Structure formats: structure tokens, C-alpha cells
Amino acid sequence: MSRSYILALLSALTRTAAETYNIPSNPTVSGEPFDSFVSYSIEFSSFPDFAGNHSHPNKYSYNLINNIHAISNNYPVIRVGGNTQDFALYNASQSTSLVGVVDPDKSPDYPTTITIGKSYFESYRTWPGVRFSHGFNMGLGGKTARGRETLVDTAPLACEALRHGNFYTWEYSNEPDLFTSGTYAPRLKGWNETDMVAEWLAGTDEIRNQVKKQCPEIQVSFIAPSNAGVSNALKASKMWAAGLNKRGDIAMFSTHNYIDGAKVPGVTLQGTLMNHTRTKLSVNNHVAEYNSIFHAAGSPPPLIFGETNSLYNQGRPGLSNTFGAALWCVDFNMYSAAVGFKRVHMHQGTNYRYQAWQPVATDLAAIGTKAPYYASITAAHMTRRAAHAPVSISHVALSSDAAESAYAAHCASRSGEKHLARLMVVNMHGYNTTVGGAGLEPLPSPPPRTVRKYKFRVEGVRDGVRASVQRLMANGSDAITGITYDGWSYNYDLDEGRGVRLTNVTVGEKIVVERGEVVVHVADSSAVILSFANGC
């Protein structure tokens, strides 16, 4: 975005009095996310596309992952799984990593008949520094002879690939609460939580036995079975009551979330995604479920989103691939961090509409960085932490927060004293510059863009401190290109996904703390981080 355009935006500001919001030096309610808070879930059938193999690693994907590391001081953690993990069968004689057949009646977006070969596991060795979870097939593994053989045959291959400092945890099953519904349900009606737990324990016992034989140095731990939602037929609470963790080896309580469906009538960018109230309600449902299960537990497993994104059924063009969806993603990640989620794995797959990047060129999509990736960059900056200074994220309630939100990041010193490190505003008021808001044909005369004024009282920050300003910007909420964070572009065409600082974007802004307050102006459909030099 050009310097002249930024100045025009600021000149359009209606200078009305702004309410002052208080940022306490030690928030009473906040979440402390893990390192690698910004992480990804990659569809099982798409993983070879994203990671490549030993002879042809996907360097573009790794460049994007390294960008996250450079900003947050940590690599994303990658969960390999999704619907297709429960279709994958092993073929020892297959030379290619994966052979998949798409049945459009089941899904046009991913194969539902899948075989993998030994070379599939090479993909785990292409991204140095990155840790992975591997998803095993419970849909067929707990039901068919070939599925059980696949579990026995692939557990040693998976642990061999993940014994080099790149192991995160194991996962057995994807969304078992949907196993009795849909056109390809792997279980009959009446299959309940007790049945599910019996199958899960038998399968995880087999994984444990195989891993101990092949990789005895790996401590066997599991992500809890990740349900698709809190209102489906099978309930997580009943799974735990039926003895899900009787072996004491569940390391993470994982749940999945999509705000709405890509094919649901009435879904809109402003009303569904760029809607802070909707996001809060959706996330809070998962927190309530978690608290109801572990309200009396002394040390419950950490809460994570093992898979999440904007709209299920792989997203909708004109919504999930827009800059507005990136703003939603920033807000979703920050609110999740503030209410106790330790890590968020944003899901993606080849040709998916909500993906952060397209890893390879196909007949459906060109290789390239998508708008949601810039949300990952922004969230990584907000949650960055130094080794000695954990970061806590708190939600700052605004007076009218349906389309706007604010967050504070505090870091703790060695003495335990907290300092305000960063302050974020996400302005999700829509601003469109293309015909029909489709992100393609530009309007001949875009409307004026409102700039809103936000004032914060920053306790513990002395007067005269200059906060650095980093802006997440695009031409509008409907934009699908031309997106920058603090002037940086991560386009594939510029330097294969490495950050390139653009010369036509205003950077280097500073805001001075005066009388204990900071004032920042934020254009509609944009976000900003104010960074204070306070330790992380």
C-alpha cells in the first residue's frame, strides 16, 4: 500500500473523541500459550505436496515456515491428519508416496480411496527443526483386517521417521464423533462412546507396542481423539468418562472448530467471519466443554485446536481466501490464546480455498502465498516469546466489538514482574474495493475508507516511550493479493516465499506514550500491532 494512500486514509479520519480503554500492567484474566502457538494441520493426503520428499523437498513451503520461526523464535508444529488419515491403507510394494482416487460423490477436494508407500514417510525429514504428529487410520484400522495390518506396518515406519528430534505426538482417529454420519460413515448407527473408547485403547496399545519395539527412546503420547464439534452425537465428556485416558498417555486435549460451512446459505464475510461476537461464541463453546470435563482435575491435559479454519468443506472462494478471512484468523487465534488455548493448528490442503499457501501448481490452483498466511505472520509476532519470558495474551473488551477487537501481550521478567510488550487492534469493519466483493474486478471509484481512533491507557509504561507500529494491510477486506505485514510481502513470485520489504509501503511509524496513554488510528479492514521494547 502506497505512502500517499496511507496519508489519504489518515486525512479521511473523522476526529471524534475516542473512548479510553485500560491496559493493566498485570491482567487478571489472560492465557499463556505454548511456544509454537502458531501451527498448522496438513491434510494427510496433501502432506507430500506440502513437504516434498528426500530428493525433492518443497523449499517454498519451508521458506514460509522459516518466516514464522524468524518472527516467533519457534517453528510451527505440524499435525499431519484430517479426514484422509482414516482412508489411508499401506501398500509395501508401492514406490510412490501416495496414490489417491477422488470420488466426487464423497468429496471433490480430496481422495477417499488412498494407499501410501514407504516413501510417504520421507516427507517428515524435509523440514529441519519442525516437529510433527502423525495421524493413524482408526476408521479402517479398528474395523478391517487390512486396516489393522496398516497400523502394524506403518507405526514402525512413522516412528523411524520421527525419531530424529522431530516427534511431537501421535494421533489415532480424526473426528470420531462423525463416524456414524455422512455418506462414508465407517461405523453403524448405535456405535457409542464406550465402543469408541474400546477401539481407541486397542489401537493405541498396538501403536505403543510397535513404537517400543522400533523406537524405544520415544515416549509414547497421544493427542486425545479430536471431535469435530461440541454438539455432535458422540461427546468428549462421555469418552473420558468411559476411560479414554486409563493408560495415562494423553498429552493434549484437542478439539476441532470451523465457524460455519462453505455451502451453508447466508454465510458472508462481514456477518460470519469478520464478526468478533461470532468468534467469541464459537471458541467459548469449546472452553466450556473442556472446563466441564476437567473442572476437578488437578493437572488436565493442555487445550489445543488440533484442526481449525474458517469454513468447513475446505472454504469458499471470495470468502475464505480473502484478506477479510485473514483478519478473522488473527482475531480467532488471539481470542483463543486469551481464553486458554495453548496452540492453534490452522488446517490446509492442496487446492483448499482457506489454505495459507498452495504448495504446488495443479490444474485447479497456481502455487502461491494466500491471504491467511499473513494472519499467521501477524499472530506469530503477537505471541513471540523469549526463552526466559513467557508471553500472556489478554482480551481487551471494546465498547462496540462486533467488528473490532483488541489484545495485549505481556511478558514476565525473571522476577515474575509483567511488562506490556505489544498491543493489537483488529478492525474488521468491511471495506470492499472490487465488484461484488469478489476480489477480482476493481471498482472504478472505491468509496472513502474510514479510519477509526483507538485510545489506550497503558499502565506501567512510562511517558516518552516510543512504540513501533506494524500494520497488516491490503486494499480492502475483499482483496486476495497485495497484502503486507509491516511492509513485508511473502509472495512466491518475489523470492519464493521469503520476506521482501516493499518500497511503496509506509513503515517505521512510531507512537509516543503521553500522559500514560497511546492513540492509534486504524483503517477499516486492517490490523495493527504496537510494540513496546519490553523484553519479548
Angle subtended at Cα 71 by Cα 70 and Cα 74, rounded to the nearest 5 degrees: 70
pLDDT at residue 214 in the model: 95
- Residues 118-159 have pLDDT tens digits of 999 999 999 999 999 999 999 998 889 999 999 999 999 999
Angle subtended at Cα 345 by Cα 162 and Cα 365, rounded to the nearest 5 degrees: 95
For the annotated catalytic residues, the residue numbers are: 193, 307
Specify the pTM: 0.95
289 has a pLDDT exceeding 80 = yes
pLDDT at residue 444 in the model: 83
Residue whose C-alpha is closest to residue 34's, from 64, 72, 71, 81: 72
User: What's the DSSP call for residue 21?
Assistant: E
> How does residue 22 score in pLDDT terms, banded at 50, 70 and 90?
very high
The domain ranges of the chain are 21-25+391-532, 38-383
4 has a pLDDT exceeding 80 = no
- Residues 37-73 have pLDDT tens digits of 999 999 999 999 999 999 999 999 999 999 999 999 9
Angle subtended at Cα 136 by Cα 97 and Cα 124, rounded to the nearest 5 degrees: 45
pLDDT at residue 442 in the model: 79
Share of the chain above pLDDT 70, in %: 95
Distance CA 493, CA 474 (A): 18
Give the mean model confidence (pLDDT) for residues 241-270. 96
- Residues 451-499 have pLDDT tens digits of 999 999 999 999 999 999 999 999 999 999 999 999 999 999 999 999 9
Beta pairing partners, 346: 40, 308
Q: Which residue has the higher pLDDT, 536 or 291?
A: 291
Distance CA 359, CA 59 (A): 10
CATH C-level class of 21-25+391-532: mainly beta
Pair 525, 270: CB distance under 8 Å: no
At 165 the three-state DSSP class reads coil
Residue whose C-alpha is closest to residue 69's, from 385, 350, 303: 385
- Give the CATH superfamily of 38-383: Glycosidases (3.20.20.80)
Give the mean model confidence (pLDDT) for residues 435-447. 76
Ordered alpha helix ranges (H), 444-499: 492-495
Ordered alpha helix ranges (H), 122-272: 145-161, 193-214, 236-241
9 has a pLDDT exceeding 70 = no
- Residues 104-127 have pLDDT tens digits of 988 999 999 999 999 999 999 999
Mean predicted lDDT score pLDDT of the chain: 93
pLDDT at residue 11 in the model: 47
2 has a pLDDT exceeding 50 = no
- Residues 362-396 have pLDDT tens digits of 999 999 999 999 999 999 999 998 766 789 999 99
Give the mean model confidence (pLDDT) for residues 260-270. 95
Q: Which residue has the higher pLDDT, 235 or 534?
A: 235
Beta pairing partners, 391: 411
